[in-house]
Structure 1
């Protein structure tokens, strides 16, 4: 599926709602960056470097922003200055179990699935209304996947999200390539540790983490293609936007 956004509530045929899975995957609160100081994994990849890309803005029309083919906007800052940590708000899913911290200038809206389907989707947008991240809670779907070649750009522990089976999910930013000429796909979100295994023939990225209330899916909404090459992806990791998205994902907590 490369990096196209799958419609969250319409593609899963098992019990539950769609979680943008890859097949073959509240009151305000001020605080500090929950992932500050988390080191990035060193990248020794020699793939060609390129200038940081500027992603095309998504439509601000509500219907288009929620469409299956919606293209998010990961707009990169050209400033080299290091700003102060942004003020944060806290979003709590309606059932009160899962929460996360996000920049106060960003917004979160919720979308309900069709009648009879459990779960709720939280869509995070930046201050300009561009959709950046989808988080789904309460579904009961699963992942199936085929073998891929994976390179891990970054990973970090998410201590507040221990899975119902005792395993701790992991934040990751990865690229996967397919042997059938299908190109490369970029994924960023939470996953089980197996989705952070590198090399050839590993199982493809799964963005569903089991929880006590049915599961959590998380997916940064990249354009298609996400980046022109791996050098551009690494360059994006030095931006404020990347740091803020990573901090949001690492702040996820299940209570």
Structure 2
């Protein structure tokens, strides 16, 4: 993510570690669907692989669709060559079961990784931009683990997520900040349980309670994405930063 074409990897190795038990994969497109949830499974596994581009998607309720969301539009990713979408250029992705959904630029793509149970109850939606660069992951399911450690934090921006305000406290927030440990910066944009504060703190696991399940949503940064905090703030104000901020703020649970 950010104005570069390199593939994205998770910047915070000690942050929320997710695993899906016996994972399968379903490639999502504007006409695709996935199966409805059932038994328990954990978060996204390293062994999960997206289905081949020629594979026929399985029918399901997880269906991205064109969606005009007034006020939710955001420009396309910087440096990607993708035209900046307006509010009418968004699609909606809904997880199996119909409870968790989010909006994303219609020219981007979402792939859904699910558990081996039929129907699955947990899944990770991976969002790619128009050039195939991984931009964000959203996990919805029964189990998520977090690892934490002491950091010094500078918060750039945080605000409540409207579609998650009815869920158990602490209130889910979209947050963008940098954690430093021994002067090494780790930049994160994700959902946080409550509003993070600047200063000495512990690393955040980003696990949000929704109903009887959990939700984890992270923007996927390349290693050392910004040369400075000023560069990070400049990226946030640009097309890609605003598109990913809008995606996180659009997440809802019903």
Task: Please indicate, yes or no, whether the TM-score normalized by the shorter chain is above 0.5.
Answer: yes
Whether 1:148 and 2:151 are equivalent positions in the alignment is yes
Q: Secondary structure at the match of 2:217?
A: strand
Q: Deviations over 1:142-193 (max 9, x none)?
A: 43422210011111210211364243200001100013x5x11111111112
1:239 alignment partner in structure 2: 238
Q: Is the 8 A contact 2:43 2:124 kept in 1?
A: no
Give the gaps of 5 or more residues in structure 2. 1-9, 22-39, 46-62
Q: CA deviation at 1:98?
A: 0.5
2:4 alignment partner in structure 1: none
Equivalent residues in 2 for 1:166-181 (5 A)? 166-179=169-182
Q: Secondary structure at the match of 1:235?
A: helix
Give the gaps of 5 or more residues in structure 1. 21-25, 38-73
Within the candidate set 9, 14, 25, 2:19 is matched to 9
1:28 alignment partner in structure 2: 65
Q: Which runs of 4+ in 1 moved over 3 A?
A: 1-8, 32-37, 81-86, 113-118
1:125 alignment partner in structure 2: 128
1:210 alignment partner in structure 2: 209
TM-score (norm 2): 0.69
| Cα distance in 2 for residues equivalent to 1:108 and 1:214 | 21
| Cα distance in 1 for residues equivalent to 2:64 and 2:229 | 38
TM-score (norm 1): 0.69
Q: Deviations over 1:26-56 (max 9, x none)?
A: 251331364469xxxxxxxxxxxxxxxxxxx
CA separation of 1:103 and 1:150: change in aligned 2, threshold 3 A: same
| Cα distance in 2 for residues equivalent to 1:87 and 1:75 | 13
**Which stretch shows the higher mean deviation, 26-35 or 154-163?**
26-35
| Cα distance in 2 for residues equivalent to 1:115 and 1:252 | 25
Q: CA deviation at 1:237?
A: 1.1
| Cα distance in 1 for residues equivalent to 2:99 and 2:84 | 34
| Cα distance in 1 for residues equivalent to 2:107 and 2:248 | 17
2:197 alignment partner in structure 1: 197
| Cα distance in 1 for residues equivalent to 2:212 and 2:41 | 12
CA separation of 1:75 and 1:252: change in aligned 2, threshold 3 A: closer
| Cα distance in 2 for residues equivalent to 1:203 and 1:163 | 26
1:219 alignment partner in structure 2: 218
Q: Deviations over 1:37-89 (max 9, x none)?
A: 9xxxxxxxxxxxxxxxxxxxxxxxxxxxxxxxxxxxx963499x987445111
Q: Secondary structure at the match of 1:233?
A: helix
Q: CA deviation at 1:139?
A: 3.1
Count of residues in Structure 1 that have an aligned counterpart in Structure 2:
206
- Counting strand residues as a fraction of each chain, which structure ranks higher? 2
CA separation of 1:146 and 1:163: change in aligned 2, threshold 3 A: farther
Flag the structure with more relative contact order, 1 or 2, with Cα contacts below 8 A and sequence separation at least 6. Answer: 1
Q: Is the 8 A contact 1:19 1:208 kept in 2?
A: no
1:98 alignment partner in structure 2: 100
Task: Indicate the RMSD between aligned Cα atoms, in angstroms.
Answer: 3.3
1:252 alignment partner in structure 2: 251
Q: Deviations over 1:205-230 (max 9, x none)?
A: 22211111410011111001122221
